[in-house]
Amino acid sequence: MSDAKPPFSKILVANRGEIAIRIFRTCREHGIRTVAVFSDGDRDAAHVAAADEAVHIGPTPSAQSYLRADKILAAAERTGADAIHPGYGFLSERASFVDACREAGVVFIGPGTEAMKVMGDKVRARKAMIAAGVPLVPGREDLADVDDALAAAVEIGYPIMLKASAGGGGKGMRIAHDDDQLRRGFAAAQREAAAAFGDDRIFVERAVMQARHVEIQIMADSFGTVVYLNERDCSVQRRHQKVIEEAPCPGPQMNPEVRARMGEIACQVARSVDYCGAATVEFLFEEQPDGNPKFYFLEMNTRLQVEHPVTEMTTGRDLVWDMIRVAAGHPLGYTQADIGLHGHAVECRIYAEDAQRFLPSPGSLVRLRWPEGPNLRVDAAVREGSEVSSHYDPMIAKLIAWGPTRALALARVRRALEDTVILGIDTNIGFHLRVLAEPDFCAGRFDTRYIDTHPALVEARELSEDDSRAVAAAAAMVAASASTSVRRGGDPNPAGLSAWQRSARRRG
């Protein structure tokens, strides 16, 4: 625990799951008391037990609990919390919530409303970046209807990417290769954007089909200091959702000069909106035959990112602690020259899902064992006996490994996945193991189309010998559980074991 007086006495985390637990961890290290909030469905959730206090805020659906600013603020008043950390998702990028916190006299641990409003609207963000001289993918922001989109396609050229102005998480996005696809895609993107965000505005960009998704982590204080904490590669995605992230970006075209150039542009983006706090500036990174890559601004996420642990493990910074300090009005306390790059880190997002169809797999965790060892980190949302709800995001944990080289980091995360035991639900662990054994991924040869161009990674098939090692430990548990049930005359598959786990039992 730090000897200095904490910047806040009590912090409420307006979130759930692994990010709430991760924020509580930093608060506990620095002597700050914590408050969890929970819905009906999360009464027994792991994040509730991890806080000093917990307040019930409503029914299970997010719209009636975690998205209710009034209930969050009432919980802060009731517990005497003097600051609120939003985590990511839910209210983390809602400017009206920032205003409500200020009016209630509670510090919001994040940026001010103007930066959030500009960067939360992708059309406004593009216009702001054009004014700031930041490189952008060619596109059009001022679309009134599909005819405007068709005209833009003539100017830009196919393929075209349709995007929702208020979008995120891949919603409201479509690729069109011709006029017919553009007409259909425009209407579909509008409907999806309206349903997801209450805003059906669409803009278009040239679709960069062979590019990496590379993002720069920045941190800024209210005294004008803005630094970049290197980059992360988040190219391995399904349905525009990240699955594996790593730092630094692999490949010969990311070098110190390119990193510095991207970092300086990311800081320029932050300064253009007087940013304070943690943010991520995302780029499309297009490798070139001459070895000099091109990169284009995509968006700025005005919050902590899911994949922040790989940055922490390669820089030695606690980003949550930095966010707390600058929100309290403290100077950042370090400069760009103090930021190093140490080794390599890889993060695998573990989802409760059918990894062939990428569909959620809710249920109860009847057996759970996380790996242990040096240079491993598990940010988990669940414990043994937890119920994985269909009402929330299916990510149940993040498994992160560090190594002095990328090869060693990959070997460590692979072994950690093999040592993980999760029974009762389907997970994507088998998918991760197939990716980690795939030659193009191991060689760093991939882009955002990686999963689409490697369909064998998601095809249903018998376990390979490598996959079998990953479930060897689980097999004994499954067999014992089934044997006990059969002796009692019960269902030989009492836990609702996944096909992957049943295959492990057969092979075990």
Q: What is the CATH number of the domain that holds 293?
A: 3.30.470.20
Based on the fold, state whether residues 96 and 173 are members of the same structural domain. no
Residue 315 belongs to some domain of the structure = yes
Tokens in use for 192? 């999806």
Please report whether residue 66 resides in a domain. Answer: yes
pTM: 0.87
Q: Report the pLDDT averaged over residues 492-507.
A: 36
In a domain, 436, yes or no: no
pLDDT digits (tens, 9 = 90+) for 328-369: 999 999 999 999 999 999 999 999 998 888 889 999 999 999
Domain limit, last residue, from 294, 314, 342: 342
What pLDDT digit, counting tens, does each position of 310-322 carry?
999 999 999 999 9
Instruction: Establish if 105 belongs to a structural domain.
Output: yes
Q: Is residue 437 part of a domain?
A: no
Q: What is the DSSP string of 319-334?
A: HHHHHHHHHTT-----
**Judgement on whether residues 70 and 90 belong to the same structural domain of the protein:** yes
Written as six digits, the tokens of 229 are 């904490």
Is omega for the bond preceding 61 within 30 degrees of 0, making it cis?
no
- Contact of 14 with 86, CB cutoff 8 Å: yes
Tell whether 174 and 229 lie within a shared domain.
Answer: no
- In-domain check, residue 128: no
- Tell me: do 169 and 276 sit in the same domain: no
In a domain, 335, yes or no: yes
Contact status, residue 283 vs residue 207, Cβ threshold 8 Å: no
pLDDT tens by residue, 113-122: 999 999 988 8
Mark which of 72, 89, 109 sits at the end of a domain.
109
Co-location of 214 and 330 in the same domain: yes
Residue 421 pLDDT exceeds 50? yes
- Give yes or no: residues 33 and 70 share one domain: yes
Answer yes or no: is 326 within a domain: yes
Q: Residue 20's domain is classified under what CATH number?
A: 3.40.50.20
Q: What's the whole-number mean pLDDT along residues 201-218? A: 93
Write the CA distances from 441 to 146, 371, 397, integer angstroms.
38, 23, 22
Question: What is the separation of C-alpha 443 from the centre of its chain, rounded to a whole number of angstroms?
Answer: 24
Q: What is the pLDDT of residues 450-491, one digit of tens each?
A: 999 999 998 865 444 444 444 444 444 444 443 443 344 443
DSSP of 433-487: HHHHH-HHHHTT---TTHHHH-GGGTS--PPPHHHHHHTHHHHHHHHHHHHHHHH
End residue of a domain, out of 152, 174, 206 = 206
Are 35 and 90 contained in the same domain? yes
Whether residues 55 and 163 share a domain: the answer is: no
User: In CATH, what number is assigned to the domain containing residue 189?
Assistant: 3.30.1490.20
Number of domains in the chain: 4
Q: Which positions are catalytic?
A: 299
What's the CA gap between 12 and 17, in Å, rounded?
A: 14
59: containing domain? 10-109
* Mean pLDDT, rounded, for 261-266: 97
Name which residue leads in pLDDT, 3 or 181: 181
Pair 200, 244 in one domain: no
Shared domain for 201 and 297, answered yes or no, is no
- Give the C-alpha separation, 2 to 68, whole Å: 34
Q: Are 89 and 170 found together in one domain? A: no
187 shares its domain with 274: no
Whether the Cβ atoms of residue 125 and residue 116 lie closer than 8 Å to each other:
no
